[in-house]
Amino acid sequence: MIPVDGLTLALLIPLPVLAYVTWALPDVAPTSLSFGVRVPPSEQEAPGLREIRRSYRRNWLAVSLGLLAPVLLLFLLAARPENLLWLELAVVPYFLVYFAAHRRVRELKRAKRWAPSAQAIAVVAVGDPDPDDGMMLGAIAPIAVLLATLIVGILRYAGAPALLPVHFGPSGTPDSYAPKSLDVFFIPVEISAFVTALLLGLTYLVLRAPVRLDPSSPEQAALRSHVFRQRMSAGLFGLGAVVNLVLLIEGLAVWGLVTPGPTFVAVPLILLLGYSASFAFVAVRTGQMGSRVAVGEVAPPLASRIPRDDDRYWRAGVFYYNPEDPALFVPKRVGVGWTLNFARPVAWVIILLPPLFGIGLSLAIHRW
């Protein structure tokens, strides 16, 4: 067997993270949802839904052991880091397992006709119009790393070699050089500034996205969603800080302050993937909109109040298209966080922006 280096190991991290997140899917959902289908919270422990959850976990186990283990072994034996990118396809079998459960819950719901007399309620807290003031303070972390990169760059500019390495191969050795100019020299700082601006904008939007409180216990839901937003904004700013740190390391290599090698390629990847894995762990433990955060018994839940049945706007329980909903971001039904309302044209702009930016960036780099 070929010795496994840090890079290969780093590229393997997403797989256990994916397995962990998909295993936890039924646990992170709020009580009014089961596999992306609205159900009355009082029915969560009904035998039908329990059986669907059990069978989801059985199928999960079958996918994890039967499909992924051999694939993993194969990739390890033929360890070429580039090949490992194919592991992203592992999302497909896990999605199919989820989708089977989603369909079974939908059928069960049709057969049972749950809670026909309950009120279909939406709730909003009105006492505190700006509940998330102060959470943007976390922006200090990515901005501090960005400033550090800028300062190192400015101090180094005069002493840097005349020919700068601008691209590195898989083993970390430079394979492309460019003559020193302000433009080329400060590329890491420019990307870092762009990433910081992007994450700041995203966090700003996330903090203003609706949380859609559970009407059966709005007090608990409001307290939980507050904790959820705190952790989400902190997590996004932390991500910004880690990405900027990676760009600082790249900068050090471009500016001739460190000599790139295999470790140089592995460290940023381990940083990024390690951070994403911990973020996923915290997200799962927090639950969607804080559904797993203990806030104590504020008031007993009211079984007669359930959220409006909006199943028809959710394709496969995952994609949201509702022209009557004014919100651009809405809480996801499966997993943790928010998703876009694709009936808003801005949603498509947001979806298409990152790929367009990626293409633009690679064109710009090739020009140099």
Partner 1 sequence: MIGSRPRQRPSKSVRSPGPFLHVDFRSTRPLYLQLCDGVVAAIGGGALQPGTPLPSLRRLSEELGVNFHTVHRAYDVLRQDGFLFVDRRQRFIVQTPPSSTEWTQRSWDAAQRRLLTEGLARGIGGPELTRRIRNLLRELTSPTPGGGGVAK
Q: Collect all residues with Cβ–Cβ distance below 8 Å to 15 and sequence separation of at least 6.
A: 68, 72, 87, 90
CB closer to partner 1 out of 69 and 122: 122
- In the DSSP assignment, the letter for residue 288 is G
Binder to partner 1 among 149, 233, 291, 339 (CB under 8 A)?
Answer: 291
- Look at residues 321, 292, 276, 270 and name the one whose alpha carbon lies nearest to residue 24: 292
What three-state secondary structure class fits 44?
coil
Identify which range of 140-148, 176-184, 269-277, 282-290 contacts partner 1 by CB under 8 A: 282-290
Which residues ranging from 21 to 60 are in contact with partner 1 (CB under 8 A)? 24, 26-27, 44-45, 50, 53
CB closer to partner 1 out of 167 and 315: 315
Task: Determine the Cα–Cα distance for residues 260 and 50; give it in Å rounded to an integer.
Answer: 53
Q: Is 285 in the site for partner 1 (CB under 8 A)?
A: yes
Name the packing angle between helices 91-112 and 47-62 (round to 10°). Answer: 170
Identify which range of 35-43, 162-170, 213-221, 270-278 contacts partner 1 by CB under 8 A: 213-221
- Look at residues 300, 255, 283 and name the one whose alpha carbon lies nearest to residue 154: 255
Q: Is 295 in the site for partner 1 (CB under 8 A)?
A: yes
Q: Is 127 in the site for partner 1 (CB under 8 A)?
A: yes
Applying CB under 8 A, the site for partner 1 has a residue count of 53
Q: Cβ atoms within 10 A of the Cβ of 290, count?
A: 25
> At its nearest, how many Å lie between partner 1 and the CB of residue 130?
8
Q: Render the burial of 186-204: b for 16+ CB within 10 Å, e for the rest.
A: bbbbebbbebbeebbeebe
Q: Is 293 in the site for partner 1 (CB under 8 A)?
A: yes
Q: Are 213 and 123 in contact (CB under 8 A)?
A: yes
Q: Are 232 and 135 in contact (CB under 8 A)?
A: no
Q: Is 216 in the site for partner 1 (CB under 8 A)?
A: no
CB closer to partner 1 out of 38 and 266: 38
222 to 251: interface string for partner 1, x by CB under 8 A: xx--xx--x---------------------
Binder to partner 1 among 3, 47, 159, 296 (CB under 8 A)?
Answer: 296
Q: Render the burial of 151-161: b for 16+ CB within 10 Å, e for the rest.
A: ebbeebeeeee
Task: Determine the Cα–Cα distance for residues 297 and 295; give it in Å rounded to an integer.
Answer: 7
Q: Which two tokens stand for residue 135?
A: 């959470």
CB closer to partner 1 out of 311 and 325: 325
> At its nearest, how many Å lie between partner 1 and the CB of residue 233?
13
Binding site for partner 1 (CB under 8 A): 24, 26-27, 44-45, 50, 53, 119-129, 131, 208-213, 215, 218-219, 222-223, 226-227, 230, 285-287, 291-296, 298-299, 305, 308, 310, 322, 324-327, 330
